[in-house]
Structure 1
Amino acid sequence: MSAPESSRARGVDRVIGIFKQLHIARRPLTMRELIETTGAPRSSVYELVTILAEAGWLETAADGSVFFGREMHYYGADYAMHNDLISRAHQTILGLVRKYDETAQLCMLEGDKYTVVLSENSARPFNITSDIGVKVPIPWTATGRLLLGHLTDEDVHALIPDEDYLLDDGRRIAFDDFMRDVRHAAAQGYCCTEGLSMSFRLCMAAPVRDRTGLPIAALCFMTARDTDPNKRAAMLDDLIASAKSLSQPLMRT
């Protein structure tokens, strides 16, 4: 790689770094914070922020803090409209939230973590939510158990970092217990977990499958553990049916 090409590559890496840090923070960051978190030279960060702000990718506030600009919203909307699964899942999720007044999500794996791709909250004052795009350890979730069923024990062991089996309350999930849950979820075609990442939370997930039958995403409900059993049963039935409906166009040959 020539010197100019190397310089351009570093510039692209630094732009990506700025975007990642803003996403992780989920709030405007000062220039000092961007410099510290990206590790990029001060002059480069100032230059890139200026260029990106002129393009509308970033916006700077009166106090000098930086956040995503309006153009980024447009690009995200374009992606959601172009991606058939995202577009259809959004309408499905809206329907589930309207029917049950519970938080519904579309979730996927991203590398060795789990992330929420779409989320709609209930209208109740109390609701349970996870931030879109934030990476969460796979063993903390029902989705994680549901989307690993096609992998061997060795594959899963190599995929998930050892520290990710430690829950935020200090409890540790044994690997054998986790794999037992994974196999059970694959056999029954859905997964429900209670009190993992939050002691009061119940998560139920149903798989969205590709044309080969492999689960590529999960449709999820997030609710409280004390939700009425009859309502829980109805929610799970609708969740499974909705996930199958989302899978059908993807499974056409």
Structure 2
Amino acid sequence: MPGAPARLSRKNPRYHPRGSPAMQRARGTDRILDILECLARENRQMSRAELTERTGMPRSTVYALTDLLLQRGWLEEGGGALQLGPQASFLSNAYLHQHGFEQLARRILSELSAATGTLTEIDVVEDWVHVVALSEGRMAQGYLRPIEGARLPLMPTAAARVMLAELPEETIRRNIPDDDMRDVAGNPVSWESFLAEMKAGQVKGYVTVTGWLEGTVTTLACPLVDGQGRILASLCMIVETREIQENLHFHLVRLQEAARKLSGIMQRTSWPYAEQLWQKLHGGTSGGS
């Protein structure tokens, strides 16, 4: 019939009968990707039995495909368990080097802002000052996105309580003047309370500071850690205080998930800017020494 859509048949080049070589190759490729993604998602060694259970593939298929991946260097085996191999690492590193930490980080910040409706930042410490390294999103009630590179006093910020937590107490006291020991509203902050908040933040994995914009805004921060376990930066979310009081768990889960992603990128590539600042902060070079 004129104008009718072409029927899929052996004469149609798009036709592939079930079980044809093309369909088999596509399905095999899909299953290979399932194995690699499962290992990447779990981020640990897994046995073939675990992969069979997690992917839902037949046991024989898992064995055949993992043998192929081992031969090609996509997997490594040790102690009867499998993990991603050098080929997977090569591909991951190539992607990271093509895009760079800051470009990848900005994507994660944007996703976090979109999911929570908040302003998000990655902050660092430079010369004993809080610096906004990257920022994405906007917030209601007139809180505009700060300029990247903005410098703020350390004492009032949640990020400071995260980023200074690994330093000796005497180093912190030596480099922060007593006159700077003030909260957002300008009220005095004791060393005892500041240090206690840092230690509590280490235990909980996050810090909150309320009081911004006359108490209507709260900052929520958690650490970003590199492959050596160093806290290179802080991921910070600026949230309406009412939202934190009512939905802390909602925001915290998403903040910490984004922090894990960012830390994972740090562990596979480098962020020279933050690494240099960490060395300066921890290496004995300080403005107050």
Partners of 2:181 and 2:226 in 1: how far apart? 28
TM-score of the superposed pair, with normalisation by structure 1: 0.62
Aligned to 2:275: none
Structure 1 unaligned segments of length 5 or more: list them.
1-80
Q: 1:180 to 1:217 in 2, by over 3 A?
A: same
CA displacement 1:73-120 (0-9 Å, x = unmatched):
xxxxxxxx9883322210011111111211111111111110111122
Aligned to 2:252: 236
Partners of 1:157 and 1:82 in 2: how far apart? 41
How far did 1:252 drift? 4.4
How far did 1:155 drift? 1.1
Equivalent pair of 2:225/2:232 in contact (CA under 8 Å): yes
CA displacement 1:11-57 (0-9 Å, x = unmatched):
xxxxxxxxxxxxxxxxxxxxxxxxxxxxxxxxxxxxxxxxxxxxxxx
Aligned to 1:213: 229
Instruction: Specify the code of the residue in structure 2 equivalent to 1:204.
Output: L
Instruction: Specify the code of the residue in structure 1 equivalent to 2:159.
Output: T
How far did 1:216 drift? 0.8
1:162 aligns with 2:178: yes
RMSD: 2.4
Aligned to 1:51: none
State the SS of the aligned residue for 1:178: helix
Q: 1:251 to 1:198 in 2, by over 3 A?
A: farther
- Between the aligned residues of both structures, percent identity stands at 22
1:174 aligns with 2:186: no
Instruction: Specify the code of the residue in structure 2 equivalent to 1:208.
Output: L
Within the candidate set 132, 149, 155, 1:133 is matched to 149
Aligned to 1:71: none
Aligned to 1:19: none
State the SS of the aligned residue for 1:227: helix
Partners of 1:123 and 1:224 in 2: how far apart? 8
Q: 1:248 to 1:227 in 2, by over 3 A?
A: same
Q: 1:199 to 1:100 in 2, by over 3 A?
A: same
Structure 2 unaligned segments of length 5 or more: list them.
1-96, 270-289
Aligned to 2:129: 113
Partners of 2:260 and 2:219 in 1: how far apart? 18
TM-score of the superposed pair, with normalisation by structure 2: 0.54
